[in-house]
Structure 1
């Protein structure tokens, strides 16, 4: 008998859309409850846009502060992303984002209209963060603003998928704004995953059988400051939005965290991205600023695979 995935939950949260699919309709309600609970917990601890979030209540003075185990996990994931990408993905770029005007939910930022760029923020790198996992002690450099946009959502997708499968035994696919993680047995033939281009139209369908996928784009989270359209992927080497060589990069990886780290790094790398991804054995689809497409070894050339 063919297994048909069931939509367990669909909602908007953490600035994006969230969809949960399961292979057993009897587990759908519980799967949705787990997903919503975990998303709300992450927002409570890691949101850069909520004044009451745990990360925003920290005193970033360079002194160790005790944090919750969940925030500690988020910090460790961000540092893991930095290690995987040799610092091309760096959680200390929050101050740079704020300098260019991305200091609130995107709808709020856009509603303000054009604004001047503030002065250059204090520069720091991920190596300046100190975290003791045993004691849950975190030290952030003075003036540092942490942003977990390239890691927390992906980490959450991985954790939700694992939690739902562990509790219910069902196969599950979690899609948090393009960060896709799966756990358990897939439906017959695999998970059909539509890769949407910047316009929202599906440009290719691939079949997933356990790998994770993540997409990073310079075309969706955009706003205007100082008369220039900006996007949210900061190049840590310059402290400015990355040059737009790619409108979008989608990467397949072992986990959503690893896939998202790679897709973000690829945007930052620009023209060097295809060789960087290929050297790491990461299948990817890259859509250029002119709409052209390239892929790295392992990614299907067209249609479903």
Structure 2
């Protein structure tokens, strides 16, 4: 996931997955200033009060994202996760950050009844969306974690954290900015956002949920209170059409084909961007037949959008209704 991968194609890495939220034009307001950059095959943007000197944070933010890229990008042959994927069965050393994210991924796999599966990477590649080679039999239960190692039960089992790592990057970036003394800001990494404090005008930050169909107006707007993150998974940014069928990047581990249950997008809010990121993926994979029930049983605040004739219909779970404007 180097900067040369910034073309908005379906082969981008962490970046464009789930990037279906629109950052409002608050950076144009007189009360704000922003900085932006490139990471994970997409862009990031930090928006805060015009009183804050944000440029002093740029180098640290870029260094943080470069570290995560080095650890968890399957698009880099020299990354930690790519090296793990080329190793045989057994236990292999891993640093604390990789173990933390892998632990969250396996917890999500269990809670989602396998709808989120961090071993599905080779199937993602088979459908044209990823670089991971390996067995086409996903099995998240074949992964195991220790204090300083990750184990796999089969030689061809691989680990793919793209469905959760960008959210982790956002959480860490927000912590970095807060630690440097900025109290009110909105951070966007490839369409996943997290708010801290308030907009400089004194209100909560607001973001629009992008319409799943291009050139259509936003179907919903969300109010992000202090500490709230939002992530979306959907077909718009990572899909292609073939023989009148639309194929997306999210694989349903049960069918081993791209999720296609008439669902267009799932938006999830929560305090942890990493978990919101993962649940958005899991709920989209579960589809309309299982996603809403799965969200309700796990107390997930989610907005499901699906086609309704020429328009859209929605299903809301948890407290998402209270965040909609």
Provide the TM-score with structure 1 as the length reference: 0.82
Aligned counterpart, 1:108: none
Q: Distance in 2 between matches of 1:19 and 1:282?
A: 26
Q: Is the 8 A contact 1:20 1:32 kept in 2?
A: no
Shift of 1:229: 4.5
Shift of 1:281: 3.5
Shift of 1:204: 2.3
Shift of 1:235: 1.1
The 1:131–1:283 alpha-carbon spacing in structure 2 relative to 1, beyond 3 Å, is: closer
Tell me the SS of whatever aligns to 2:277: helix
Tell me the SS of whatever aligns to 1:33: helix
Q: Distance in 2 between matches of 1:172 and 1:224?
A: 38
Aligned counterpart, 2:191: 178
Aligned counterpart, 1:299: 320
Q: Distance in 1 between matches of 2:94 and 2:135?
A: 25
The 1:161–1:146 alpha-carbon spacing in structure 2 relative to 1, beyond 3 Å, is: same
1:64 counterpart = 2:82: no
1:41 counterpart = 2:67: yes
Q: Is the 8 A contact 2:117 2:138 kept in 1?
A: no
Q: Distance in 1 between matches of 2:178 and 2:99?
A: 23
Return 5+ residue gaps in structure 2 as ranges. Answer: 1-28
Shift of 1:74: 2.8
Deviates more, 1:144-153 or 1:162-171: 162-171
Alignment of 1:92-241 (within 5 A): 92-104=119-131, 121-133=135-147, 136-140=148-152, 141-183=154-196, 185-187=197-199, 188-198=202-212, 199=214, 201-210=217-226, 211-223=228-240, 229-241=246-258
Aligned counterpart, 1:110: none
Q: Distance in 2 between matches of 1:194 and 1:229?
A: 24
In structure 2, which of residues 52, 55, 63 is the aligned counterpart of residue 29 of structure 1?
55
Residues paired across the two proteins, number: 286
Q: Distance in 1 between matches of 2:107 and 2:182?
A: 28
The 1:12–1:283 alpha-carbon spacing in structure 2 relative to 1, beyond 3 Å, is: same
Q: Distance in 1 between matches of 2:61 and 2:162?
A: 18
The 1:23–1:127 alpha-carbon spacing in structure 2 relative to 1, beyond 3 Å, is: farther
Shift of 1:213: 0.7
1:277 counterpart = 2:295: yes
1:286 counterpart = 2:286: no
Provide the TM-score with structure 2 as the length reference: 0.78
Tell me the SS of whatever aligns to 1:92: coil
Q: Distance in 2 between matches of 1:22 and 1:152?
A: 24
Q: Distance in 2 between matches of 1:274 and 1:208?
A: 22
Q: Distance in 1 between matches of 2:79 and 2:242?
A: 26
Q: Is the 8 A contact 2:95 2:149 kept in 1?
A: no
Over aligned residues, Cα RMSD in angstroms? 2.9
Q: Distance in 2 between matches of 1:97 and 1:227?
A: 20
Q: Distance in 2 between matches of 1:197 and 1:153?
A: 21
The 1:10–1:122 alpha-carbon spacing in structure 2 relative to 1, beyond 3 Å, is: same
